[in-house]
Amino acid sequence: MTSLPPTVLRPHAEHEFAHELAALAAADTRERPPSWRLSPWAVVTYVLGGQLPDGTVITPKYVGQRRLVEIAVATLATDRALLLLGVPGTAKTWLSEHLTAAISGDSTLLVQGTAGTAEEQLRYGWNYARLLAEGPSPAALVPSPVYRAMERGAIVRVEELTRMASDVQDALVTVLSEKTLPIPELGGEMQAVPGFNLIATANDRDRGVNDLSAALRRRFNTVVLPLPADAEEEVAIVERRVAELGAALRLPEVPSSDLEIRRVVTVFRELRSGATEDGRISLKVPTGSLSTAEAISVVTNGVALAAHFGDGRLSAADVAAGIVGAVVKDPVHDAVAWREYLEAVVRDRPEWREFYEACREL
């Protein structure tokens, strides 16, 4: 954990924040559950940020309600599995990575759920060359991330759980309730070391795709991650991510326009919540999720437009098309919602004139 991270585009959390984790571990005198590198209290502090008695500043990773992070950590401490639910872009993956880094010091035990995920990726597979040569033996067994986490008493992450086929998902039932993995081929089983646990993420909007079976759902405590509570918080998240993404994509430098970002965030928030920020006008809520992540992508696209085709300045016209595209997902309902919003709200904001015109022209 203390070794220097290699130069990569995106280092793992436990490398990027190694100094914070070390400082927390040093300052942490509270009781730690078996195999945990930090106490629950220190994990919460790592995620939400704070300052240690020795002056070390812990940066906030997740911006949002404290109680949600507390519920998540308390859940993991009771060795019940944790399911993070939420609309796309609400930092489910982000939070699960940081929780894992803080608790186990290793966020790489990961299964990415897709329609094609096979049971072996949750249990174990075989090295067929060896299997044919030597017959079933521990050496021929290829452990899955879940298997390795059980072995080490670590946390394993399962991303997009509901995208996996239902029967594949159900392979987790025994693992979570018995904390063992039967290996009939070797006539044995793998018994989890204390500290083993699992964090799954699932997208709210995917509900009904491969909904969790009642048996599996019962093994999870669920934390629903909401969209950011206030505009300042959301603007800050968007600004930071846009800057980072812009750098990664090597977009020409475009002066970041606080005005436009604020406008995108305001439009999204108002439509999402069904009311203007001043609470004076009620609005129809469009069907799209209008998440922070979408706001990030609208602004990033706007920056690309401004850089390559515009005057190098992020203008209302650069974000207008992106906003309308994000809002109008359903041609009937959303179109009405958007028209009402445009005419009842946007038109009456003098400082949004340019934006109003740009939207009308689309």
Partner 1 sequence: MTDVRLLGIRHHGPGSARSVVRALDEQQPSVVLVELPADCEPALRWVGHSQLLPPVALLGFVADQPQRAAFLPFAEFSPEWQAFQWAHAHGVPVRAIDLPLAHSLVEARDDTLQLANPPVTDPLAALAAAAGDPDPERWWDDVVEHRGDGAPAFDAVAEAMTAVRGSGDAATVREAQREAHMRKVLRAVLAEGHERVAVVCGAWHVPALQAPLPPAKADAAVLKGLPKVKVGVSWVPWTHRRLAATTGYGAGVQSPGWYRHVFLHPGPSGVSTWFVQAARLLRDRGLSASPDHLIAATRAAGALAALRERPRPGLAEMLDAADAVMAGSTGLALIRRELVVGDAIGDVPDDAPQVPLARDLAAQQRAVRLKPSADVQQLELDVRKPNARSRSVLLHRLSALGVPWGRLEEGRGSSGTFRETWSLHWEPELTITLIERSAHGTTVRAAAANRLLEQSQQASALADLVVVLDRALLADLPEVVQPVVAAVEAHAAHDPDVVQVIDTLGPLARALRYGDVRGTDAGALRRVFDGLVVRVVAGTLMACRSLAPDAAAAMAERLAAVQTALALVDHGARRAEWPAVLTLVAERPDVHGLVQGRATRLLHDGGAWNRGRVSARVSRALSVGTPPATGASFVEGFLAGSGTVLVHDRELLEVIDAWVSALAPDAFIATAPLLRRTFGAFEPAERRQLGLLLDDEVPVAVSGFGGDLDPARAAAALATVRELLGVAQ
Ligand X SMILES: Nc1ncnc2c1ncn2[C@@H]1O[C@H](COP(=O)(O)OP(=O)(O)OP(=O)(O)O)[C@@H](O)[C@H]1O
CA 249, 250, 252, 257: dihedral to nearest 10 degrees? 50
- The neighbour count for residue 77, using CB atoms within 10 Å, is 17
Neighbouring residues of 169: CB distance < 8 A, sequence distance ≥ 6: 161, 162, 210, 212, 213, 216
State the residue for tokens 């174990």.
124
Out of 228, 246, 286, 288, the only residue in the binding site for ligand X (CB under 6 A) is 228
- Residue 217, token pair as written in the block: 């759902």
Applying CB under 8 A, the span of 13-21, 90-98, 106-114, 218-226 interacting with partner 1 comes to 218-226
Please pick, from the candidates 32, 92, 219, 263, the single residue that binds ligand X as defined by CB under 6 A.
Answer: 92
- Helix extents (H) in the chain: 13-16, 18-27, 40-48, 66-77, 92-104, 128-134, 145-152, 166-169, 171-178, 214-217, 231-248, 258-273, 292-308, 316-327, 333-344, 353-361
Query: Using the rule CB under 6 A, which residue among 17, 36, 46, 62 binds ligand X?
Result: 62
Q: Closest approach of Cβ 216 to partner 1, in Å?
A: 12
Q: Say whether residue 77 binds partner 1 (CB under 8 A).
A: yes
**Going by C-beta distance under 8 Å and a sequence separation of 6 or more, which residues neighbour residue 112?**
159, 160
Of the ranges 80-88, 89-97, 102-110, 305-313, which one interacts with partner 1 (CB under 8 A)?
Answer: 80-88
Does 214 contact partner 1 by CB under 8 A? yes
Smallest distance, ligand X to C-beta of residue 204, A: 8
- Binding flag, residue 88, ligand X (CB under 6 A): yes
Per CB under 6 A, the segment of 23-31, 58-66, 74-82, 248-256 that binds ligand X is 58-66
The site for partner 1, by CB under 8 A, has a size of 35
Cα–Cα distance between 191 and 197 in angstroms, integer? 13
Closest C-alpha among 171, 184, 181, 186 to residue 149: 181
For residue 85, the cross-strand partners are: 202, 224
285 binds, among ligand X, partner 1, Mg ion, none (CB under 5 to 8 A by kind): partner 1
132 Cβ partners below 8 Å, 6+ apart?
none
* Interface positions, 89-108, toward Mg ion (CB under 5 A): 93
List of long-range contacts for 305-310, beta carbons under 8 Å, 24+ apart: 306/254, 307/251, 307/252, 307/254, 308/252
CB of 296 vs ligand X, minimal distance in Å: 7
When binding is defined by CB under 8 A, the residue of 47, 48, 73, 172 that contacts partner 1 is 73
Q: Which of 44, 103, 261, 326 lies at the binding interface for partner 1 (CB under 8 A)? A: 44
Binding site for ligand X (CB under 6 A): 62-64, 86, 88-94, 201, 203, 228, 237, 241, 292-293
Binding site for partner 1 (CB under 8 A): 40-41, 44, 67, 70-71, 73-75, 77-78, 80, 83, 85, 214, 218, 221-224, 274-275, 281-285, 332-333, 335-336, 339-340, 343-344
